[in-house]
A and B are shown apart, each in its own frame.
Chain A
């Protein structure tokens, strides 16, 4: 029996299982590589070299750094503070990690393909990303340390504030595509570069990007960690692999929000040539180049990578926001902007302007 026949004979849950394992493995390796890429990129931006000691196979100095880090963290002792809430302390890193991976279930990875084609996919994404905050809150509370607790409280207030702006920005996306299904959202952006949602929803795109950075607790919104004020914030009491899990979750979340921005505003797996060149044109028939230029997973990967680089760039450029400034930005700037633009968009839909003229 050849491979294709064997594959088709498998039941649905086996297919899903294989995809889940594949996506998870790719994500874990990406996270490892992303930590290295971040340090390298920031290094270059600041005229340093970044990690360049651990080489594997004598190639590319620094390539072994993530593995060296993982091994180091694995063999360290996991300290549990004496007066802490032991069970919650141990389970908190897992709670942060789960949503970052589970959300990939509804991600439209390639034309017509996602692991689970959920109709309320966008709500599923919102629901899961909002669960991630529990890991941070629990870690901060269970540690029974004032610094950790302060970090947790900051994070809770910040995430509640930015979740609203994020939700409103997504309302605009729903209005543009008329569906909560992520696959449909991508397909509705069919057309060239300017047909993607970012153009007509530009303010929402910016708001979503800022909120996404804030949701992942990344610089310049990383007051939950705030090394200069509260040591390391919510994970100050964590060591060894428990700390590594928080680290993993942060980078997995970065990849996730970058992929989500690509899907919501940058056309996901759509190629920039889509809509300019006809789908049956001879260009897409050229062996390797045709596949590269056509729609596909690689475009999603490329766009995700672009946004990851921007997030890292932000970290290299901006100093940390003060806490009240973060709150002001969230409540007084981002939310009004989204509400105004939703009204504008409503008018555009009503008067059939731009992409709604058809």
Chain B
């Protein structure tokens, strides 16, 4: 009972924040609604005892991805009017996507109702069962090659991103830390012996 109340509460917040993402006029507010959406989905995952996924969702998306996203959105000077100009022109594409999504969701629910459900209902496990440990075991044994492949793909993406930004701009004033550290006192300061001057 309590779980159901919590589920509907979180689901309502999730729907509200999802609407907020697309309806708010300010892009920063949209990004913040997205953060809230991630957070509430994490809470929903906690309700089905997928604590590892929930925490990782907060850690990766809320803690890292959205911070960078906000960083960029806040820096951009977005003219909202300009963005909204093509809104009605592409509306048919939006409606098409919405129809496809609704059809898919209805399909899934209908399949469940007809009793020809291909996915088994989750079996509740003992309270001391750790799905973090389970996930770790599966990831590093059964699925170790796909897992390593995913890691390589990410590595390639990182290298590509760095290569794209590694260009020398002309006339840039950069510091050479090695040179700074290697500086001796004699390079910068000169002690000059001189007679004290008498004030007139």
Q: Report which A residues bind B (CB closer than 8 A).
A: 88, 118-120, 123-124, 126-128, 130-131, 133-134, 137-138, 141, 149, 152-153, 156-157, 159-160, 163, 180, 324, 328
Contacts and interface: CB of A to CB of B under 8 A. Distances in A.
A316 to B, nearest CB: 25
A127 B58 CA distance: 6
A119 B51 contact: yes
19 contacts: A118-B51, A119-B132, A119-B133, A120-B132, A124-B55, A126-B59, A127-B59, A130-B67, A131-B63, A133-B67, A134-B35, A134-B67, A138-B32, A141-B70, A152-B74, A156-B67, A156-B71, A157-B71, A328-B177
Counting chain A CB atoms within 10 Å of each CB, which of B51, B55, B56, B75 scores highest?
Answer: B55
Interface residue tally of chain B, by bracket?
20 to 34
A123 B56 contact: yes
Interface string B57-94: 01100111001101100110000000000000000000
B52 A120 contact: yes
A344 B32 CA distance: 41
Contacts of B75: 153
B175 interface: yes
Contact of A137 (B52, B59, B64, B67): B67
Contacts of B74: 137, 141, 149, 152-153
A153 B72 CA distance: 10
Contacts, number: 65
B130 interface: yes
B18 interface: no
B47 interface: no
B17 to A, nearest CB: 14
Counting chain B CB atoms within 10 Å of each CB, which of A119, A120, A126, A153 scores highest?
Answer: A120
Contacts of B62: 127, 130-131
Given A120-B52, A123-B52, A131 B58 contact: yes
**A-B complex: 8 closest residue pairs judged by Cβ atoms:** A130-B63, A127-B59, A127-B58, A119-B130, A123-B55, A120-B132, A156-B71, A127-B55
A116 B52 CA distance: 15
Interface string B164-177: 00000000000101
B63 A163 contact: yes
B28 interface: yes
Given A120-B52, A134-B35, A157-B71, 9 more contacts: A119-B132, A128-B58, A130-B58, A130-B67, A131-B58, A133-B67, A134-B67, A141-B70, A180-B132
Counting chain A CB atoms within 10 Å of each CB, which of B56, B70, B75, B177 scores highest?
Answer: B70
